[in-house]
Structure 1
């Protein structure tokens, strides 16, 4: 096994996603109204950079999930398993959609999107005609993502404290 496969595991990607999401939501709430900004700087620039990092991590997570064997599922009813699968699919979809909408929004404003301030993402929209509704979609989908994350955390706590099925061990 290489050093990378020992460091980059599903668990590492899961917790890195959490750290980036906490940073993103904090930056999103603290930054000034983006509609008024012509050139991103300060918290807005950080929000764009962390969003680019989040998108890369999520793509890595999805790629990893497609090539690895899933862990043995916990013993639960088919109904609970179906709900868990739907929740996870919705989480992954929003984890991809929210940063993509942010990228489209920033790009449409003519802002440069860079990973770690170095690797520039390609332009994907026409900056001469920014569509401010993409920013609204970005915000609304981020709110839905936050709600689903809350449901996910609640479900983990139920598994840990009520079902006592050691689900949490799979995430560590």
Structure 2
């Protein structure tokens, strides 16, 4: 019985909906901050692309878990037609007017990708929190389209929340 009460308290302390509640379908070019699931804790800044791929909107998300470790994830909807190699798949990121960043990526499920190296995660999340626009060019062999773009529309309060979560 105590475990059930403890779990209920832990869920009610979160800013977001319970983990078993389905997330609303993202709308055209939406950016929002959400509380990560109970396992990871922390916050995520999620932005959806305006263009549909297979009826869904590609997403880019910057997350910082409870210990402040940042991570960046791409959900590009389309799973590769053939598994990509374990090494040697690179993406080019542009954040606003910043120079291009060439980053090795790891594919982990369906259309989801993340930087292979943790130092790239930190660098990319910091750049995303300062940018109002992000574009990513992926190798055409593994995605439905090569270029993805997101406009990041966040309130100053949400950016402060994310920076605080990422710098514990």
Q: TM-score, normalised by structure 1?
A: 0.22
Q: Between Structure 1 and Structure 2, whose CA radius of gyration is higher?
A: 1
The structure that is strand-richer by fraction is 2
Q: TM-score, normalised by structure 2?
A: 0.22
The structure that is helix-richer by fraction is 1
